[in-house]
Amino acid sequence: MSTIGVIGTGYVGLVSGTCFSEVGHQVICCDIDEAKIAKLQRAEIPIYEPGLEELVKRNTNLNRLSFSSDIASVIHRSDVIFIAVGTPMSPSGEADLSYVRAAAAAIGQSIRDYKVIVTKSTVPVGTGRLVQEIIRSNQSDPSIPFDVASNPEFLREGSAVHDCMNMERAVIGATSDRAAEIIARLHDPFRTTIFKTSLESAEMIKYAANTFLAAKISFINAIANICERVGADVTEVAKGMGLDSRIGNKFLQAGIGYGGSCFPKDTHALKHIADVSGYDFKLLEAVIETNDKQRMLVIEKLEKAIGNLTDKKIAVLGLAFKPNTNDVREAPSLTLIPKLLEKGARVQAYDPIAVEEARCYLPDSVVYTQDLYDAVRDCDACVILTEWKEVVTMELDHIRELLRKPVIIDGRNCFALERMRQEGFEYYSIGRPEVLAPNAVLSV
């Protein structure tokens, strides 16, 4: 087994490093944030990810996983070094590579023998060559050999540990066959499909995959908007589409659009790559525009249901961009709650995990509750933004009793229409007929 150094302890670095240790490798995760490293050394996990805490504790106790803020020492001790730092979106839409550049410079200043340096972060095409140049320019002894590789991650927040331990494929682009084989052997315990390609193709595969999935979401949301106008039910349409093996049923769940740390950033980054390369990527522009507009449907449906929002009390269920994570980056809640407040509404919000993260971004006037039913109590309507288990299993008869009006705006299509009619709700979802009033027929 190899000794692996991981620079960066965010979602990608921490999960990937921990899973590599779980299959037997010696892993050292490092970060310049000393306070964060100190917490990890105490097995305090800075992110919420199901199963991660248990794996960190087990492999730390087995001495297969450790944490350090001494990046130079980690570089010296490692055979393979993964760069897993953040690449946030810059104002222009392109990926900000400042953390990648800094990591590459640190590696160049510290390597004493042959290393394989692997970009795990999502980076634009050409970044591997840039990393190679930065390392060379920072070497005190240019004769020391190294190779650069790209091994993009394909982890979904909320199921990242499962995705890593059960990875569908490992994409490997490298500057030499030797390096590609070393990275391939690291993945042997995962028993996954290995796909070796060029450095540039590996970098593009990540963007192409994420952008395609984002396009699939925007497409089904556009279909949902048409369904509402013609009386069709998008859940039935999506099921019928998904039965076609060429299409498949994944990412065909209509709702209020994608969010999180990947799809918004990666679609904009690929758009910037296209612009710089001289290609007018109108399809991708439409994907982004469709997603931006989709969120506003919640406001439109809410105003249709209860009229002017001034001084209306609205319950918002869900702040994270998806279930099983505390990540609120690009979450619909961060767009919609300020809009509700701007229109004069009062907001009571509930999320089982992400409240503290949301507080950093939302206005102080938002009232947070620790109990879902307290959030709904005495509200004029309830808005569902995240399909948490606590939300999809809530007692609807109790919710109806707590609301001033039995109105639910469901941005995630959590409930069957017939059930909501039987429960006596006025129910608005995405791409499906409305349940207009207790015991009323569905509109078409």
Annotation: binding site for substrate: 154-157, 206, 251-255, 259, 322
Question: Catalytic site residue 382?
Answer: no
Residue ranges for the known binding site for NAD(+) are 31, 36, 87, 122, 157, 265, 329
159-167: Cβ within 8 A, 24+ apart = 159/50, 159/324, 160/11, 160/15, 160/49, 160/52, 161/15, 161/18, 161/19, 161/49, 161/50, 161/51, 161/52, 161/55, 162/50, 162/51, 164/15, 164/16, 164/19, 165/19, 165/22, 165/190, 167/192
| Residue numbering of the annotated binding site | 31, 36, 87, 122, 154-157, 206, 251-255, 259, 265, 322, 329
Tell the residue number behind the tokens 């995760």, with chain if given. Answer: 29
Q: CA-to-CA distance for 377 and 348, rounded, in angstroms?
A: 9
| C-beta neighbour count of 346 within 10 angstroms | 17
Catalytic-labelled residue, pool 164, 262, 379, 382: 262
Exposure on the CB side of residue 128, measured as CA atoms within 13 A? 27
Residues with catalytic function: 262
